[in-house]
Every structure is written in structure tokens, then in C-alpha cells.
Chain A
Amino acid sequence: DQQVKQNSPSLSVQEGRISILNCDYTNSMFDYFLWYKKYPAEGPTFLISISSIKDKNEDGRFTVFLNKSAKHLSLHIVPSQPGDSAVYFCAASERNNDMRFGAGTRLTVKP
């Protein structure tokens, strides 16, 4: 039962443009959402999060949007840089339950 889905396994964008990574979830009880970034040969590192009481959280070039009615989460990166090339994992958690992860989207930012 995959409760968190990232339907795009890969995304390629030009440097300077916007990258939009999408995530859908099925469990309406999720109340905390996170994005992790993973470089090859490294573990995932936390990027940005959002609580279910908000619909937007911004941190520099990274913005996460939450649409609870659609059960949809997105990460916007603008402007995209070659160093942003990595695998991005969406994750969600419900209080007193473990965190669920998507399968990841590989972002490639071309110079």
C-alpha cells in the first residue's frame, strides 16, 4: 500500500528555469510533509517541510506547496542550478506513526 507517490521518475530542466517536483498522497491523516534530497553515494538530507495547517513554506530558492483537498504536494526550485541535480524524495507522516516515502524523482539541471 503505497501511500505516497511520486509519479515522475525523472525530470530535466535548464539552468535558471523553475523545477517543479510533484507528490501525491492517499492518507488524509498525514499532518507533516517533507522533501529530502539525495546525492549519489550519500544518504538523503532534509530539504524543507510543511505542516498540514499551512499551504506554503518558502526557504530561499525552495518552496513547498500543499493542496490538502487534492492530497497533492509540490516542490518548486527557482532558479534551478546544476548543483540541484539529485534524487528528491517526498515524505509524509501521521502523528504517532512512521514516515512514508515516495519512490523519488531524479532531477537533472542542465547548464
Chain B
Amino acid sequence: ETGVTQTPRHLVMGMTNKKSLKCEQHLGHNAMYWYKQSAKKPLELMFVYSLEERVENNSVPSRFSPECPNSSHLFLHLHTLQPEDSALYLCASSEGQVGSSEKLFFGSGTQLSVL
């Protein structure tokens, strides 16, 4: 399998649930990212990991918790979400380290609905 894969593709959860999004990259890249895409809005960067170290957290609420156990895997743990958190969550990777002005490779995303 190649590229960046995300699971699940769709997720419906209640506000009291706990769930996790998974991302795996098979490209040998050094940096991984979580982006949020709400309808008709720009992609918003949530978290960045470079060589498994978190380098950026763009003031994301604590109900979103990232985990990067190794350079190929990235998780986003979700708990007590709000309906406004419903969005497409995209994982991406890049070859070099963060800030190296390189293109991103995206997964297909997880469409999240919070009821």
C-alpha cells in the first residue's frame, strides 16, 4: 500500500464518546500533519509532528489530542467533542522537516459528524 491512508473514512459520534482517527504514511516522510476542513473554509492546521516530535499546536482545544508513536503513524484522539467540530479531518505528510517549503501528501480524510 502506498501514500497516506486514513481510517475510518466516516465517523459519527455523540458528544460524550471517545474515538480515535488513525493515519499511516508509507512514503518514508519525516513530518506529519493534522488539518481540519470545515465547509467553505480554508484548511486549518491543527498539529504538526516532525521526526515524531510535536512542533506546533495551533491553539487547538484540548478535546483534540494527537499522538505520534513513530514516523509512520499519527493518531488524533477525540473526546467530548461539540457539534461545531463536525468537519473533514485530513492527515498529511511531507518529506523534509517542517518549514522546508515542500508539498504535502494528503490522505482521503475522515468525515466526522458530532451529534
Main secondary structure of the interface of A (DSSP, over half): loop
**Neighbouring A residues of B106 by C-beta, 8 Å:** 36, 43-45
Chain B residue at minimum C-beta to C-beta distance from A4: B42
**Neighbouring B residues of A34 by C-beta, 8 Å:** 103
Q: Total contacts A to B, CB within 8 angstroms?
A: 55
A43 touches B101 (CB 8 A): no
A9 touches B104 (CB 8 A): no
Complex: how many Å from CA A106 to CA B58? 27
Stretch at the interface among A56-64, A69-77, A96-104: A96-104
Chain B residues in contact with chain A, CB under 8 A?
Answer: 4, 6, 9, 40-43, 45, 48, 56, 58, 90, 92, 98-101, 103-109
Q: A41-B108, A93-B99, A98-B99 are in contact. List 10 more A-B contacts (CB 8 A).
A: A31-B101, A32-B101, A43-B109, A44-B106, A98-B48, A98-B98, A99-B104, A103-B40, A103-B41, A103-B42
